[in-house]
Chains A and B, each alone.
Chain A
Amino acid sequence: MADELEELYRTTYPTVVRFLYRRVWDADRAQDLAQEVFMRLMAHRPEKPRAWLFAVAANLARDEARAAVRRKRHLTLLKDDPVTLPSIQPSAEDTVEQDERRSKVEAALGALTKRDREVLLLWDAGMSYPEIAQQTGLALGAVGTTLARARKRLVDAYDRMEQQSRAAHS
């Protein structure tokens, strides 16, 4: 059992971190949450560990996002600034162009509905259609429809931002 857990940890940990990162937009925090997810896995030992991992990760990310919004709102009240969702802080190594692209993807992802974003990120994390259906409560047949819509909207939103950016530069 311990070996199975270790193998699951080794193969799934990066995916879970990536999944969490796209929800909390903080690499360190995503790693902390991922470790928390695996520690809960050790305590609960579920029958379907992979699906369980992403379900718990999604819940933790949701709690984290709520806490972040509360913190931001509190700061906003103190500073009298408008409320904005947490965004990626560009690192020193990233070029300006990379930062812009990343910001656009993030903004495009934020333009999706909550359900579309959830399904898209779960699929990107490697979850199967039945696992996505189980976690989101969607019918199995609706997963493909939602995923098709989410992909299209994401790319459309990104292209629209690219055009606006080009127009602004020209």
Chain B
Amino acid sequence: MRHIPDEELHAYLDQALSRSQCVEIESHLAECPGCSALRDDTAALRDRTTALLARLGPGPIVPPSFAILSDRYEAERRWRRQWTVRAGWAASLIVAAGLGWSVNQRVHSQVVRLETEAPIAVAPVAIRPLPSDARPSTLPAVQTTKPQPTRPRQAVALREPTSARLPVAAFQVADESAEVMVASYAPAPEGTDQASQEVFSVESQPAVSGGNLQGFWRNVGVDGLEQSTPGQLPRVPGLPVIQVQVQPGEAGAEVTAVDQQLEDGQLIRTIEGPAAKVSSLIANQEAENASSHQPDAANGNQPDKMTLTLRQGDRMLAVTGPSKVLGSLMISRGGVRRRY
């Protein structure tokens, strides 16, 4: 005869057994006094446990109204939904800001690399005035540290790598013999399109300088301008500055005109600013020149002044001065070296 194990008696008293198991246990208990006594002990233990645990009760429990709980649930659900939407917007803004920052960093790093890492070969060339029929075959060629692209360079000029404006020190007139410093531009890195490799375009034309500039201009002090934007004043190095005028505009859209005096008293005017504005000013100068120098042109005399313009993107630098001085600027254009 199989006696009833302890755990089975617990399960029996807890009503955790099937009906057939209960019948089997009850029939055994009726015949076995030992198991019956054990059943009583187990029942007492069970009741005592229940009584002990009942002492740990938190006291009378009155459940709050189910309606209150439902309202609280609805309010919390609404709040969670709103929070989710707001969190989504916040996350979107953060992602957008991160993307913007990343793109900005990438663009900035490329600009810095162009300005700092790309070799800017500055090859000063001392040019003496030569007879007009002489070919400058003995002049040293403009040097670059990298092989130039197959497309011929259209211009050469000194540039200041960190300046956002057009090169300031475009020319350097050392003495009366009109020595000119010429430098090559930085070759564009591989992978950029051909058009963007043209850093400057240079043109020259007869002109008049020293006339009045059209439009509203404001005279500014040279020292103050040099202190606020050191190295960015467009001028010919080595010549005294006698006047600086600024045509106000939006950030980066202002036009700066610098008048300098040569040793012989003639003026050189350097105008730097947005290409459209500078072109307009030069065109006005040309018109003025055409009306005032008609007889000279009719006689076939070459005007004694000329304008040399350098263009980079939407910025333009125009230098107007005696053709003798500016004409000594050597540029390489179309594979043919020309002297003006």
Contact (Cβ within 8 A) B58 A21:
yes
A6 to B70, CA, bound (A): 10
Given contacts A21-B56, A105-B56, A155-B52, is CB(A42)–CB(B63) below 8 Å? Answer: no
Q: Is the CB of A123 within 8 A of B57?
A: no
Total residues of chain B contacting the partner, CB 8 A: 31
A130 to chain B, nearest CB (A): 8
Is B215 on the interface with A (CB-CB < 8 A)?
no
Known: A18-B57, A105-B56. A148 touches B10 (CB 8 A): yes
- Taking the closest CB of chain A, its distance from the CB of B223, in whole angstroms, is 65
Contact with A along B46-72 (1 / 0, CB 8 A): 101110110111110101101001101
With A22-B53, A123-B14 as contacts: A43 and B61 at CB distance below 8 Å? no
Residues from chain B with a CB closer than 8 A to the CB of A101 are: 55
- Interface presence of A102 (CB below 8 A): yes
Q: Are B58 and A17 in contact (CB under 8 A)?
A: yes
Question: What residues on B are CB-neighbors of A74 within 8 Å?
Answer: none
- Known contacts A17-B58, A148-B10, A9 near B52 by CB under 8 Å: no
Q: Does A106 contact B (CB under 8 A)?
A: yes
Q: Scoring B residues 1 to 34 as 1 if CB is less than 8 Å from chain A, else 0, what string do you get?
A: 0000011111100101000000000000000000
User: A30 an interface residue at 8 Å Cβ cutoff?
Assistant: yes
* Besides the known contacts A143-B16, A147-B10, 11 further A-B residue pairs in the complex with CB atoms under 8 A apart: A22-B53, A35-B64, A39-B69, A43-B73, A124-B49, A129-B16, A147-B7, A148-B42, A151-B46, A155-B45, A155-B48
Residue ranges of B at the interface with A (Cβ–Cβ < 8 Å): 6-11, 14, 16, 42, 45-46, 48-50, 52-53, 55-59, 61, 63-64, 66, 69-70, 72-73, 76-77
The 19 sampled A-B contact pairs (Cβ below 8 Å) are A10-B66, A14-B61, A17-B58, A21-B56, A22-B53, A22-B56, A30-B58, A39-B72, A39-B76, A42-B69, A105-B53, A106-B56, A109-B53, A123-B14, A124-B49, A124-B53, A144-B7, A144-B14, A147-B10
